[in-house]
Structure 1
Amino acid sequence: MSDAALVQLLDMGIPLGRAKAALKRTKGDSMSAAERVFAGEFDEIPSDDEGDDAEANASGSAQKITEQVKQVVTISNSDEDMVEDDEDAEMIYGEEDDDGYDDMDDGFGYDGMSDDQPHASDPYAGIFFSKDRVEEVIEPIDDDEFETVPTPSGNTKIKILGRGAWMSGCPEGGEQSFLFQLYNTLEEGQMACSNNCGHSFTRKNQDFFGLFPTFPQYTEYLANSIRPKCPKCAQITCLACGERVDRPSALRSHSHSLDSVKGKDRSSATPTTNAESFAPAESLFHCANLQGAVLGIGLHMIDQNFKIGKDQTRKAALAGGKVTPPTKKRKTGSAGEEDDDADTTFQYFGKGKSAVKGTGYAGELAEDRTGQIAAEKAQAAADALVASLLQQVSVFLPNPNRAGGGLASDYHVHPTVLAHLRRRSTFVNDLLRNDSLLDMSKRGDLYRTLFDWLEIVSDNESLSSMLGMPSMRPARSVQTPNDPTSSTITYEGAPSPRELLENVVIQAQAALRGLQGVQSADEEEKDRKLTEEELRASKAEVDRLAQKRVEQEKNDENSVLKAFCLRIVRSAETIDKRLVDTKGKAFVERMKAQLPRIEEGGNVEEAVAAEDETDENIIKIYEEWATKARFQYIDLSTGSTTVGTPAFKHAYSASASGIENNSAPKRSLAIAKELAILTTNLPVAYHSTIFLRVDETRVDVLKAMITGPEGTPYENGCYLFDIFLPLEYNVKSPMVKYMTTNGGKFRYNPNLYSDGKVCLSLLGTWAGPGWIAGQSTLLQVLISIQSLILCDEPYCNEPGWANDGGSPQSKAYNANVRRMVLLDAMANNIKRPPHPFENEIKTHFRLKAKTIRQQIEKWRALDDKQEILGDNWRDKNDPENTNPESKRGFAHCAREVLRLLDELEGKPPGEYAVEPSGEGNDGKAGGAKEKKEKKTVSKLKAAIGKSK
């Protein structure tokens, strides 16, 4: 009886007495011993209190096995912050000390369970998981090995999965020992007949580790070779475990068919691919060794095909002659990892960039979609393959809700299965990292299959905790110095599948909110009164009509999107329920507290930074707060109109009230899609953020606030817009009005008029690429305003002056904009913050007070000592603006902003003396330089008058 075999059984939860008896009867075969124990053959042996002995025995034995396995895979930790000495390193294997406990709670508090609620055993309890973790693992490079095997279509040459690839991944605890042992067992050349007749069977690598072109080919070949008949005694033996197969399988709890890949509670799910018909031979469920081997190969095939599909999609886009614009990169963890696979609908032009000259030019008039179409075709083909593989491999997942009843292995999962699922499930995170609900719904077959997969995993108490733990993703791979036979892989912590799923859930809930009040085809049919003819119709006719309604429901876009969104929400709820059972209620509550969420009614807490906070920490605090506050539902109504319809504190209140009782399903679908995008894709950055508020009951009534990008004359100001989605939306563009005009007195930009007009081709208010029904989005409009209008040289936005960048006229224009920003977009907003952005405006200026003070000093050096020219783009025949508020210079405006910043921070008012530049409180200046600057401004006014 080997120590390794005993440790393996103890880790599977088998009492020491039963483990010893089973190993003795099976001559040391741990897998056969486990089968017999789970089948109840040793129930007569009491489950006594031998835990202390088992623990002591396991500790010494595990150390021996670990040393053996480290000869295959060497681990070195490169995260200095996480593990600084040998004492901390022990924590990785669950040997925590009192002083190190708090550090282990970073990964959602896995080891901080404190509630009294009983919960299931967690196989990963005591192991350190964190999104901040970084590990370097030295992995051997396998030499390519091929074998030719007979198949129904003839001899087929296949590649063999090597030991290095089988054991690759970031190891935890004793995982390597189990993987090493199983691979060794299944590749051993000789195996005695289970009848002890003296005959030996020959095991071959290709029997278990062959990589066939398809998964069904692999399982078919395995089923045909797994049970050889002894030529000497005619006994049939399982090649995987060495058991005779004429006795009932130790893994089977009772007889049932394996003709369904779904659990018994998933009968309502829509079939997604022809993989539904995949029914593997019952012999493949005989033992735990088979379960580990089949899932290991299946997960490897999914992972490889998923990577190949992504690569082929990119190549197809390039071959089409047009590369898709760079997508928004999403930071997935503090290890610095960014993922650019998510499909989003915009490209952020960056801070302070006038990426495009002129107004609203966002692309060519006739867009070339050749590359995009080619990429979509390649994506569809890759998705179909991965979806099929997911369904086929899911048959072998430990599934307590298996059709016909579960197997013993569905409840007592072998450690190799746990290791493979944890290491080979990066495709799950990659798919959930997609920030676009619209893209996911277009790829619905793949994602519905993924949700099936997640629900099966969450239904197993041994596996469900994996969905809440941060994963380790391979980030870099380099050849190990002085060793061409191995490579060093850097694994970095990444968000858990449940955390990534939450972003998708938020989008799904937003889409469902947009679809509220819109009846599906089936609901409309239920509400309709039957005609006399229909009442007299035969049963056959009634059935025909019912079938017709089902077809209509399938083809109804609203119904399809609604069903898809409900499926997402249900999957998240199922996972959470199982995590409560496995990890406890306290853990799930802590996990949810760290998940992104949409607040209702402006309930986001104001962020506060300490006075001595570093710039880096302030940026982090600001971006975390802005991410929570960027999208909210809020009550924008102000009562009722004279005819009883809701009124809104909004520029388009009359338009919104006028369509109160109109229901347009296509419009609702478009709005639902918009909300799904906006919830998680609004750009957040310290240098510029877009905030959006949506009315709680009328999702077509919105307000936006954009903070001015760094490096522009609009920097750190707050600019508000009222938005309404008209009845014809998305055929027609949204209606947008600019509200930060100092009461209609200030025109900040050639494209932002003092009367609130926004000049942008997407809105149909300027020549150029216009709104494309079904493709253009509100997010594109907001991004265009943020990056194209609020740019570094707005003077160049006027056609005809696009090449005047850096000219005296452009510099004078910027100086005037900066004065307006200080007086209105900063000071006025702080003094009278507009609804519903009161909290956001105060928090924005409080957190950025230090930055704005530095910004003011930079602007002071650039100022031309002139007064504010409010609507300086007015017609030459318009009367002069005599508003005294406009007659302000830079010093006055800057003084007021600095005073207000002190108030926000609770500081005593400072002494902001006038700079010795000749400018007084009235904003006047003198000297030859001033006269020259005034002359430049006069020429600028004259030129403007002529242009108008």
Structure 2
Amino acid sequence: MSWSFISTDHDQDAASLRLAMQLDAELNGNPQPGHQSTGTDFDADLAFAMQLDDQLNSRHHISALESPFDEDSEQDQELSNLGPDGEPSIRGGGRLGKESGKSNYHDHRRHHSSSVSTSSPRIFATFAEFATHMQSQKCAKCSSTLIQNQKDIEDLFKGWLTGQGLVESLVNCKRCSTLTCVGCGSRPLEKKLATEINVQGTKLTWCCSRGRLFVIWAILCGFDQQYCVGRQQEATKTGTGRRGNTSSGIGYGGNNYFGVGPDFIGPDYVHGPFHGGVFGYGGGLPSRYSYRPAHEQDQGKIKAQNAQSVSDNFNKMILAFLDELLPSLDRSSNFDMSPPEAVPSMLLNSKILDKAAELLRNDSLEDIAKRKELYQALLSFLRVIGTHPITASKTMYSERIVRPDTVNLLNLSFQKGVGALDQKQETTASLGDCLRNLNLQSSIMLQGAQKNEGEFRTQEGQDLLWLCRQVYDLAEFLLANTTRGSGALNKDDKENMDHGIFEIADQQIFATNQYAHNARNLRESPRGRMKRLITEITTLKTGLPPGIFVKYGTSRLDLMKMLIVGPAGTPYENGLFEFDLWCPGNYPYEAPKVTFKGTRGGSISFNPNLHLDGKVCLSLLGTWHGEPWRPAESTILQVLISIQAMILCDEPICNEPSQEGFRGSSESQSYNQNLRKLTTRYAILDWVENPPALWKDITVQHFKRNGARILQTVGQWEKACQIDSPYDHRGIFGMQMTTAYTENISDLRPKLQAALQMITGSLQSQGCVASRQSFSPTTKVNQAYGRGYGGQMPSHGGRGGFSGSNGIDGQGSRF
């Protein structure tokens, strides 16, 4: 209950008397018949009423945002103050340890002995202000500093993990072992605090709003420390350093389990509060990982799944904690209604948003469904931060600043100068954009399920659809209010919405696909095949990097046409290379079939792994030694990215195992010179002059946007070409290779310029420079993309892939 006092005139005895009587009645109940208040009690009530009137009127000038957070207890406001003589006094009269009937009102509540005065409130605008304040908090008994350095928070969080401490706002003084609420500086007189919640078997307790904010801060700091340790350990093992947004799921190179792991936590972990089916490391793999017999999995795979299981449970619990701790409009406490700005500041400087984005970028809905509990916790977390006014705009709909894995909330809170941002800050997609992409997959899956209900009647299918519905509902709810500039798609960006994959009429696919005859002969599709194909299409919708385009039949999802743009920095740069794909009747238990269409009837060879008959050598396709197609894990997306990154590479001569030693050699340079002529003639000029009808829309758009750059690149190739030293490639590759192409680039360039001018009507000369928006995406090594060459690592397979986030480059172009 609250009262509003306007008058500050303490000489108005009548008003003070009425107030004292009102307080006495409300706090102690109506006096029993025959009860007579003593003069001493009445004087005490009058004095307390005047004191309370003064305090509340001084607070009358505090802003609405500041006032609620000043009240340390969310349920009871502040239960204790310092009396006039410095001793703790209970609101309503009386002092602790003194006889007073007024203290009985508080007997059923949580008692605290306060060591702080009711001074004007301090509102924390940033995590740094709050962290500094936490480091100044003293023990209620001996006045020793409770949190002295970063290690104190690390030890506190580890104690929570191992069960050596409760998840609460109380901190044990190292000097006198007294428990003190680090939020308000009070000492508990009972075992229970003012607020206690149960999150999946783990109790979280705090006694005041600042205590609740402390628990949020400590959990985020602890999460960050373990997240960064996991990332650094992974970087040490792989030698990749900081990984980008491509490490997002099955389709991008496997499972990710950055974060907590058994090696980090130690043997005591199984006894922690998260144990017993909630966090559960040491209890064996959950049933969702038993879809493959153990004898088919090597020890490395089992260890990876075990690590991911631990990480998933850890992340699930952290997200569940934050769901209950962060301000929510579903709750009515002052902290929930008017939280401090330090809350979004903590989230923005923590790695928790990076983890959320990483999970949202998972390009496999089936993998997401297998990790349903984790993703349910994630969606609940997103709902909380996405609906509250203080967190929604900054944490959900704004681009996030990219920081190294070594910079996190923990060291930012204790180490001055860590993570100082440059003026040019690198940013990445907002959580809203990441959720939008996942929602796109979910929508396609739901639409496909309506047309193929029988494919989803299993428990696994129902789990998948349930999760898709959860994603769809949340996305529609959150993104309905997303406006331009906050990550929303522009209505005119139809190309971005297509994400490089297009549905076309079946007859268009059948007309030119190498496998049309095979597809026509397949009358029935085994159960599960169509569901898997729908899953593949949803993955391609959001997983395709720029430079790859796919068209598939309206009712024949198993028949596809693909167009891949040659990556920059390779002898294939900006050339167009067409492939046909078909998923056999036994798919996914049999790898897809792929044929290269650019051999000009078997007369042109672009690569030792693209044979004259169109055969594509890739281990995923079963046409090369190395990692095979795995039905439960491998995807069409992996196949496409492997072709782009590992076949259309910078030194393709090294694709042949016996020729790996030619890297950087004169033979490799000569081989590339010949390939540049082939690319200019057959993959660029021919496509400009006579684009296939199926690809005309993509082709025209590509050359309009990149025409100037193409001429610039071809001009550079012309200068570097060594016309007088042709190299006979038949000596290396035998009948696979044709003779060196004799037409010079100097002869091709004028023809190309004239043809491009017919399309653009604006190209000036070889040296003209187009805007950055018209350039093809810059090259980056796809360390987590390419698969399929066995022993040939990406370093031998060359370059591939492009910059950008979630398949769209920074300028909104797929070219």
Q: TM-score, normalised by structure 2?
A: 0.59
Residue equivalent to 2:518: 655
Residue equivalent to 1:823: 681
What is the Cα deviation at residue 469 of structure 1? 3.0
Deviations along 1:121-167, whole A, 9 cap, x unmatched? Answer: xxxxxxxxxxxxxxxxxxxxxxxxxxxxxxxxxxxxxxxxxxxxxx9
Residue 239 to residue 25, structure 1, CA distance change in 2 (3 Å): farther
2:594–2:616 contact (8 Å) kept in structure 1: yes
What is the Cα deviation at residue 504 of structure 1? 3.1
Residue 717 to residue 24, structure 1, CA distance change in 2 (3 Å): same
Residue equivalent to 2:471: 568
Residue equivalent to 1:24: 57
1:678–1:779 contact (8 Å) kept in structure 2: yes
Residue equivalent to 1:505: 439
What is the Cα deviation at residue 560 of structure 1? 2.5
Residue equivalent to 2:315: 386
Residue equivalent to 1:487: 417
- Supply the AA of the counterpart residue of 1:418: V
Residue 567 to residue 307, structure 1, CA distance change in 2 (3 Å): farther
1:701–1:724 contact (8 Å) kept in structure 2: yes
- Supply the AA of the counterpart residue of 1:591: S
1:724–1:735 contact (8 Å) kept in structure 2: yes
Distance, in Å, in 1 between the alignment partners of 2:744 and 2:688 is: 19
User: Which aligned pairs between 1:890-901 and structure 2 lie closer than 5 A?
Assistant: 890-901=745-756
User: Which aligned pairs between 1:496-575 and structure 2 lie closer than 5 A?
Assistant: 496-512=430-446, 517-519=451-453, 524=457, 553=459, 556=460, 558-575=461-478
Which residue of 521, 528, 540 corresponds with 1:678? 540
Q: Tell me whether 689-698 or 339-348 shows the greater mean CA deviation.
A: 339-348
2:249–2:363 contact (8 Å) kept in structure 1: no
Deviations along 1:640-664, whole A, 9 cap, x unmatched? Answer: xxxxxx9554332333344465252
Distance, in Å, in 2 between the alignment partners of 1:328 and 1:372 is: 23
Residue equivalent to 2:507: 638
What is the Cα deviation at residue 703 of structure 1? 1.9
User: Which aligned pairs between 1:750-789 and structure 2 lie closer than 5 A?
Assistant: 750-789=608-647
1:520–1:559 contact (8 Å) kept in structure 2: no
Residue equivalent to 2:378: 450
Residue 293 to residue 830, structure 1, CA distance change in 2 (3 Å): same
Distance, in Å, in 1 between the alignment partners of 2:213 and 2:603 is: 69
Distance, in Å, in 2 between the alignment partners of 1:485 and 1:660 is: 67
- Supply the AA of the counterpart residue of 2:357: L
What is the Cα deviation at residue 489 of structure 1? 3.1
Deviations along 1:696-754, whole A, 9 cap, x unmatched? Answer: 44332322212223444333211011112222222111111222233554333343344
Residue equivalent to 1:716: 574
1:701 lines up with 2:559 in the alignment: yes
Secondary structure at the residue paired with 1:704? strand
Residue equivalent to 1:291: 209
User: Which aligned pairs between 1:177-188 and structure 2 lie closer than 5 A?
Assistant: 179=130, 187=138
2:383–2:474 contact (8 Å) kept in structure 1: yes
Return 5+ residue gaps in structure 1 as ranges: 1-5, 7-18, 42-166, 191-200, 226-236, 252-256, 262-274, 331-338, 349-365, 479-483, 525-551, 581-586, 605-626, 640-645, 913-948
What is the Cα deviation at residue 452 of structure 1? 1.1
Residue 32 to residue 837, structure 1, CA distance change in 2 (3 Å): closer
Distance, in Å, in 2 between the alignment partners of 1:393 and 1:414 is: 14
What is the Cα deviation at residue 632 of structure 1? 2.2
Distance, in Å, in 1 between the alignment partners of 2:403 and 2:726 is: 58
What is the Cα deviation at residue 448 of structure 1? 1.7
What is the Cα deviation at residue 390 of structure 1? 3.0
Secondary structure at the residue paired with 2:591? coil
Secondary structure at the residue paired with 1:837? helix
What is the Cα deviation at residue 889 of structure 1? 5.6
Residue 414 to residue 682, structure 1, CA distance change in 2 (3 Å): closer
2:670–2:726 contact (8 Å) kept in structure 1: no
Return 5+ residue gaps in structure 2 as ranges: 1-5, 7-51, 78-121, 173-180, 255-294, 409-413, 768-815
Residue 737 to residue 177, structure 1, CA distance change in 2 (3 Å): closer
What is the Cα deviation at residue 183 of structure 1? 5.1
Residue 842 to residue 417, structure 1, CA distance change in 2 (3 Å): same
Deviations along 1:362-381, whole A, 9 cap, x unmatched? Answer: xxxx9996555434423322
Residue equivalent to 2:23: none
Distance, in Å, in 2 between the alignment partners of 1:897 and 1:327 is: 41
Distance, in Å, in 1 between the alignment partners of 2:694 and 2:533 is: 21
Residue equivalent to 2:352: 427
User: Which aligned pairs between 1:793-832 and structure 2 lie closer than 5 A?
Assistant: 794=652, 797=655, 814-832=672-690
Residue 697 to residue 873, structure 1, CA distance change in 2 (3 Å): farther
2:126–2:341 contact (8 Å) kept in structure 1: yes
Residue 204 to residue 835, structure 1, CA distance change in 2 (3 Å): same
Distance, in Å, in 2 between the alignment partners of 1:427 and 1:317 is: 19
Residue 890 to residue 368, structure 1, CA distance change in 2 (3 Å): farther
What is the Cα deviation at residue 450 of structure 1? 1.8
User: Which aligned pairs between 1:572-611 and structure 2 lie closer than 5 A?
Assistant: 572-577=475-480, 580=481, 588-594=483-489, 603-604=494-495
Secondary structure at the residue paired with 1:433? helix
Residue 417 to residue 652, structure 1, CA distance change in 2 (3 Å): same
Deviations along 1:228-276, whole A, 9 cap, x unmatched? Answer: xxxxxxxxx999499999xxx9x9xxxxx987x7xxxxxxxxxxxxx43
1:436 lines up with 2:294 in the alignment: no
1:509–1:569 contact (8 Å) kept in structure 2: yes
Residue equivalent to 1:211: 156
What is the Cα deviation at residue 505 of structure 1? 2.9
1:866–1:890 contact (8 Å) kept in structure 2: no
Secondary structure at the residue paired with 2:417? strand
What is the Cα deviation at residue 869 of structure 1? 12
What is the Cα deviation at residue 756 of structure 1? 2.9
Residue equivalent to 2:93: none
Residue equivalent to 1:355: none
User: Which aligned pairs between 1:127-526 and structure 2 lie closer than 5 A?
Assistant: 174-175=125-126, 179=130, 187=138, 205=146, 211=156, 213-214=159-160, 240=184, 275-278=199-202, 284=206, 290-309=208-227, 311-312=229-230, 315=233, 323-324=237-238, 326=240, 329-330=243-244, 342-343=248-249, 345=251, 370=299, 373-401=302-330, 406-409=331-334, 412-415=337-340, 418-419=343-344, 422-423=347-348, 425-434=350-359, 435-438=361-364, 440-466=368-394, 467-472=396-401, 475=404, 486-491=416-421, 492=425, 494-512=428-446, 517-519=451-453, 524=457
User: Percent identity, aligned pairs only?
Assistant: 21
Secondary structure at the residue paired with 1:851? helix
2:445–2:535 contact (8 Å) kept in structure 1: yes
Distance, in Å, in 2 between the alignment partners of 1:901 and 1:768 is: 42
What is the Cα deviation at residue 458 of structure 1? 3.0
Distance, in Å, in 2 between the alignment partners of 1:903 and 1:458 is: 49
Residue equivalent to 2:800: none
Distance, in Å, in 1 between the alignment partners of 2:449 and 2:339 is: 45
Distance, in Å, in 1 between the alignment partners of 2:313 and 2:635 is: 28
- Supply the AA of the counterpart residue of 1:560: D
Distance, in Å, in 2 between the alignment partners of 1:317 and 1:858 is: 37
CA root-mean-square deviation:
5.6
Residue 773 to residue 183, structure 1, CA distance change in 2 (3 Å): closer
Q: TM-score, normalised by structure 1?
A: 0.52
User: Which aligned pairs between 1:681-692 and structure 2 lie closer than 5 A?
Assistant: 681-684=543-546, 689-692=547-550
1:690–1:704 contact (8 Å) kept in structure 2: yes
Deviations along 1:591-640, whole A, 9 cap, x unmatched? Answer: 35458x998xxx42xxxxxxxxxxxxxxxxxxxxxx7775222314237x
